[in-house]
Amino acid sequence: MQAHAKSLEPRIVLPQHGYPFDLIAQESSKRLSHPPKAYTELFCFHAVILYDMRTAILATLLTSTILSAQQPVENEQDAVKTPSLDEMVANIQRIRPGGSKLDRFKAFLQITPTGKKDDRITILLRIKFLLPGMIRYLTTETGQEIQRGWDQNGPWARIGKDDDIADLRERHYRQDRDQLRRELALARLLLRFMDPATVLTELENPAPISEDQLKIGRTKAIRAYMVTGQLATYPFYSDTGNTHPAKVGVWIDVTSKRLIAVSAYPIDKSGKQAAAGEFLLLSKHKTRAGIQIPSQLDVYSLGPQGRTPMVRMELASLELTTPLTVKDFDRATPWR
């Protein structure tokens, strides 16, 4: 029995006295050269119980540690609270100094049709744009210099430097007029989404912000905040640039706070959403005049088959503070 008691280590504290068991046993052996059997068995009985209790506690702690280790550990990024709409607007405004309203630009653009049936011929445009909807651009088609524009009197065009100005409101100029409307829609989209904070504040009936993995292509996905709502006007490229009230989804990159995508579906007066819509992807952001500007816009149609490419606009150069007046868009004013 002594050998059995001696093996009960580490030192165990008896709750009745608060003394280590081996010290009590030593004191007992000093006083009793031959301790009674019952006395020794009593100590061994307490020691076994306490040893078993300690073993059980250690086993419980070990089990709970293993179980907790098996639980999925929350990613540090996932722990970040999803912001409210006001907080997101404030975050975007921090990366856009000044916050002045954008209403004009002068740029050099490349526009390439990307549909399966398109020839994918890139058109180069020197373009001026002024809200609410005046546009003028200079390009070359089939070796000829062409100007198109939209001034206070409507759409117009000039082929060559000395030719007469054509009024595109006439019926037989429908193809030219539709092309101009589409390019006007692209200019509006570019300018509007240079200022994502304003877009978010213009949302009507916004839903709570959620987190999403925005799929780009077949393999790439971007972690983004997504909010849906309505915009009073949205220019639809596929509808020859006509504007409609729209149900939109807006994606903001979680890391960069940049607006990276927009989906839009026309809605009628009753609020019913159309089956077909458009998807706008904004990428290759660059800093211009202290503002993060997307230098590439890809427009897709949205339907039962998902996204279908329509057109790509690439921004080669951009001026946002260039002085522009209504007169600069007048068809009688020479290009300058």
Domains: count for the chain: 2
Residue 157 lies in a domain: yes
Q: How far does Cα 62 stand from its chain's mean position?
A: 43
Q: What's the CATH code of the domain at 222?
A: 2.50.20
- 137 & 234 share domain: yes
pLDDT in the model for residue 58 = 45
Burial of 121 (0-12, 13-18, 19+ CB in 10 A): exposed
Residues 145, 189, single domain; the answer is yes
Range of the domain at 61: 2-70
Question: Does residue 124 lie in a domain region?
Answer: yes
137 and 195 fall within a common domain: yes
Residue 249 lies in a domain: yes
Domain boundary among 41, 70, 99: 70
Residue 116 lies inside a defined structural domain of this protein: yes
- Judge whether 141 lies within some domain: yes
Residue where a domain terminates, one of 70, 99, 117: 70
Contacts of 289 (CB under 8 A, 6+ apart): 320, 321
312 and 168 together in one domain: yes
One digit per residue, the tens of pLDDT, for the chain of length 336 reads: 444 444 444 443 444 444 444 443 444 444 444 444 444 443 344 434 334 545 554 445 444 444 444 544 444 444 568 889 999 888 888 766 555 678 999 999 999 999 887 777 899 999 999 999 999 999 987 778 899 999 999 999 998 776 789 999 999 999 999 999 999 999 999 999 988 888 999 999 999 999 999 998 888 999 999 999 999 999 999 999 999 999 999 999 999 889 999 999 999 988 899 999 999 999 999 887 778 889 999 999 999 889 999 999 999 999 988 899 999 999 999 888
pLDDT given at position 127: 96
Same domain, 92 and 151: yes
Task: For residue 336, tell me if it sits in a domain.
Answer: no
Same domain flag for 112 and 66: no
What is the pTM assigned to this prediction? 0.73
Residue pointed to by tokens 């068995």: 41
Q: Residues 60, 189: one domain?
A: no
Question: Of 20, 38, 70, which residue sits at a domain end?
Answer: 70
pLDDT of residue 159: 84
Pairing of strands 220-235, 243-253: antiparallel
76 within some domain: no
In this structure, the answer to whether residues 260 and 191 fall within a common structural domain is yes
CB 165 within 8 A of CB 151: no
Residues 160 and 264 placed together within one structural domain of the fold:
yes
Q: Say if residues 44 and 52 touch (Cβ distance below 8 Å).
A: no
Predicted confidence at residue 99, as pLDDT, reads 56
Tell whether 66 and 97 lie within a shared domain.
no
Same-domain check for residues 150 and 97:
yes
Same domain, 139 and 62: no
Q: What is the pLDDT of residue 80?
A: 62
In a domain, 177, yes or no: yes
Question: What is the predicted pLDDT for the residue at 219?
Answer: 84
